[in-house]
Every structure is written in structure tokens, then in C-alpha cells.
Amino acid sequence: RRQVFISGTASINHRGEVVYPGDIRKQTERMWENVETLLKEAEMSFEDIGQMLVYLRDGADYMTVREMFDQRFPEIPKVILLAPVCRPGWLIEMECMGTKAQKNTLYPDF
């Protein structure tokens, strides 16, 4: 099987610059795009994710973020925490862990 651990992912562009400062909805969507790109590189998708940890800078964003995650990922267990995120412009950051079954090419009957 393949296991993937993704952490410290937020709303940044390909240059590492914060994208959508001050907009929790857009930062969340961009963060998901970045995670999805990382998962694709590992030949995985959100369907392979077993759990998510979400860090919020401002507790006032909790209900918005909770609704967004519950709508997009209703089956994935998640915990949303109030915590200082890595960069000053980030409103949200996440980590996730996933597992995907792999074929055994040496012993195909296994």
C-alpha cells in the first residue's frame, strides 16, 4: 500500500506567496486545490484520505469552514482546531493522511 502524509498546506501560489488574503472561503478552496495537486503527484485523490486536521487562525471562521468541509468531504473524519498557523497571511492550514492499496507486481497473486 501507499501512504501519504500532507502537512502545512495552505493558500499559496507556485511562488509560495499567500493567495486571497483576508478571504477564508477562497483560501480554503485554494488550499484544497494545492492538496489535490499533491495527491495527484502520489497517484491518489481525496477518496484515499482517511482523516484531516484543519487549523484556523480565527475562531470566527469556524462555522464557515465547518460547513465547507462537511459539504465537500462528508465522509472524511476531520478535526478543526484554533491554532496559530505558519504564516501571518494564512487564515487556514491543513494536514491529511491517506492510504491506497497497491498491486504487488512481483507476486501478482497476493
pLDDT value of position 109: 62
pLDDT value of position 57: 96
CATH of the domain at 92: 3.30.1330.40
Q: Judge whether 105 lies within some domain.
A: no
Q: Judge whether 92 lies within some domain.
A: yes
Question: pLDDT by residue for the chain (110 residues), tens digit each?
Answer: 889 999 989 999 999 899 999 999 999 999 999 999 999 999 999 999 999 999 999 999 999 999 999 999 999 999 999 998 888 899 999 999 999 987 776 666 65
Asked if 11 contacts 18 with a C-beta cutoff of 8 angstroms, the reply is yes
Number of domains in the chain: 1
pTM: 0.89
Q: Judge whether 18 lies within some domain.
A: yes
Q: Judge whether 109 lies within some domain.
A: no
Q: Judge whether 22 lies within some domain.
A: yes
Structural domain span for residue 18: 2-100
